[in-house]
Amino acid sequence: MNILFEEKQKPMKKKFLKMRKKVRNHPVYRRVKAIVLVILGALLAAIGLQLFLIPNNIIDGGIIGISIIFSYLLKFPLGLFIFFLNLPFLFIGYKQIGKTFALMTLLGVSALSVFTYLLKSYNLVTEDLLLSTVFGGVILGVGVGTILRNGGSLDGTEIISILINRRMSFSVGEIVMFFNVFILLSAGFVFGWEKAMYSLITYFIAYKAIDATIEGVEQMKAVTIISTRPKEIQQSIYSRLGRNITFLYGKSGYTGIYKEIIYCVVSRLELAKLKKIVLDFDPDAFIAIEHVSDVVGRRFRKKSIH
């Protein structure tokens, strides 16, 4: 009876999955999802700032850090500085990067400005400077990373750094670091050097949280394998890990022999098992492992393993 019921359910399940895929691939769905996530990212960033960092006089880098310093000195709402200091960079971003980026950035900056104002009346979570630094940095970083992952930004210094990079030999990261060192030094004169050191820790933690949010918690690895037994390795990877592989064809520079080269993307946790599979078949196999920042595509999903 159960078997018959399951057989009847299969066409309905397939139809549902097909419809869900169609909806998720629709441009309107993707745009609405991105808008919601940008607003959520702005809320998280505001929570990190208003409930952890700002009440303890700890700042972040970039335009947010400058805005915190100006707000403290001039006694104006933080949201006003975040919004208006980012406007010139929004215009530059619209001209140099694109309309979609500028609109998503405007949404993120506007939402952050509103949320920082709404959360201002709430009490800070903890007065412990170390806890505020760690948790504030993580929450702020996740919020900023969520916005970056969905096509926006909260920091105009990154935009200007991209433009400077096009004209000078410095990398974007080096230019951003220069701006932030200057901002964090300024915090030392305004809030004291102890708070400036905590701010530096916050910046580092937020930077790592941004990376983790953009790249995903489950870090992926691209593996290139050269072996004399590619077929057996391919079948074992599929049956034991549920991962598909791609065969590339290359010519040995030493022997001149053409070989099948295995290319596969796996999670960090699957890496040890993958190496064991390969070496069990071919102890002399060549294995090259590279970090993958992102993977897009339905075909990457694992097959069910029984």
pLDDT (tens place) for every residue of the chain, 306 residues total: 555 445 555 666 666 666 666 666 677 888 898 999 999 999 999 999 999 999 999 988 888 889 999 999 998 999 999 999 988 888 887 777 778 888 898 999 999 999 999 998 887 788 889 999 999 999 999 998 898 888 888 877 767 766 676 677 665 556 677 778 888 888 888 888 899 899 989 988 988 888 788 776 556 889 999 998 999 999 999 888 888 889 998 887 778 888 889 999 988 778 888 999 999 999 999 999 998 766 666 555 555 444
**pTM of the complete model:** 0.73
Question: What's the CA gap between 70 and 93, in Å, rounded?
Answer: 23
End-to-end CA distance of the chain: 24
Among 82, 81, 101, CA closest to 91:
101
Does residue 58 come out as left (phi exceeding 0), alpha (psi in the -120 to 50 range) or beta? beta
Q: DSSP for 173-232?
A: HHHHHHHHHHHHHHHHHHH-HHHHHHHHHHHHHHHHHHHHHHH-SS-EEEEEEE-S-HHH
Q: Give the pLDDT score at 211.
A: 78
Q: Give the pLDDT score at 233.
A: 93
Domains of the chain with CATH codes: 27-215 (no CATH), 220-300 (3.30.70.120)
Q: Give the pLDDT score at 198.
A: 92
Instruction: Enumerate residues 6+ apart whose C-beta is below 8 A from 33.
Output: 150
Q: Give the pLDDT score at 306.
A: 45
Q: DSSP for 98-144?
A: -HHHHHHHHHHHHHHHHHHHHTTTSPPS---HHHHHHHHHHHHHHHH
